Structure 1
Amino acid sequence: MARIKLDLPERVVFDTTLDVRIGDINYGGHLANDAFLRLAHEARLRFLKSLGYTEMDVEGAGIIMTDAAIVYRAEAFHGDRLTFRLGLSDFNPYGFDLMYQVVDDNTGKEVARLKTGIVFFDYTARKIQSIPAAFAERFTA
């Protein structure tokens, strides 16, 4: 089976540090796969908040996740501090890919790379909408 390869964008636009909590640990004693997506969600919310946005209001538009992929590089354990470095790539008329590089603060080891596909969404009309020009200009210049 072919492995997924996630290339990181050149520019990191935001980073934040999150702690691995006991509820994030699976029966193998390390960070669970579903916990990575929860932590990525927290990192995404912090990124948006740093810009004055929410998931329901990015320049007047909502966002919705269309897909996700994770490539694991190392284990993480309870109490580890992980830095999530975010970058944006693959812009299209309706959205972009949000890329995450996850690094263990204690060891400097890369723990994982994640990608979440993001499109802009009108929650009232329940349909995809075009990327707001002000948002696109902010990150594609």
Structure 2
Amino acid sequence: MARIQIELPEKFSFYTEIQIYLTHINMARHLDNSALIGLLSEARARYFQSLGYQELDVEGVGIVVTDAALQYKSEAFHGETLVFAITPDDFNKYGCDLMWQATEKTTGREVARGKIGLIFFDYAARKPALIPGAFMARLGNLA
């Protein structure tokens, strides 16, 4: 089976720090893979909050994660702080990818990288929605 290879963008537009707690550690004494997904979900929520949105209300529509891919680069341990870098990429009329990278704060060691595919979703109509123009304008103003 071919290994997943994820190419990162040259720069990211958002950074947030999240500490690894004991509950994030597995029996092998390193960051559990399911815990990394949870930390990434927190980082994604913080990204939208930094833009002035909640994940269920981005200009009147929500988001839905459609796919995710990740590539591990090194272990991470209890007490370390991960810096999650995020930036949107590969836009289509309904959504985009959020590219991300997690590095250990003190050493800069890369822990993992990946992408989250998402679409905008009208929860009242239960169907995909076009990317809100005001959301795109906000991204343009922050670039």
The answer to whether the superposition gives a TM-score over 0.5 is yes
* Identity score, percent: 52
The Cα of 1:42 is off from its aligned counterpart by 0.6
- 1:37 partnered with 2:10: no
Residue 5 of structure 1 aligns with which residue?
Answer: 5
Q: Residue type matched to 1:43 in 2?
A: A
Query: Residue deviations 1:72-112, cap 9 Å, x none?
Result: 00000000100000011110000000111100012211000
Shift of 1:13: 1.1
* Distance in 2 between residues matched to 1:91 and 1:137, nearest whole Å: 13
The amino acid that maps onto 1:53 is Y
In 1, distance between residues paired with 2:10 and 2:121? 27
Corresponding position of 1:23:
23
Given that 1:18 and 1:82 are in contact with CA atoms closer than 8 Å, whether structure 2 keeps it comes out as yes
- Alpha-carbon separation, structure 1, partners of 2:138 and 2:9: 16
Q: Secondary structure at the match of 1:135?
A: helix
Asked if residue 72 in structure 1 is aligned to residue 69 in structure 2, the reply is no
Normalising by structure 2, we get a TM-score of 0.93
Unaligned 5+ segments in structure 2 are none
Q: For residue 125 of structure 1, what is the amino acid of its counterpart? A: A
Is there any run of 5+ residues in structure 1 with no aligned partner, and where? none
| Cα-Cα RMSD | 1.2
Please give the TM-score of this superposition, normalised by the length of structure 1: 0.95
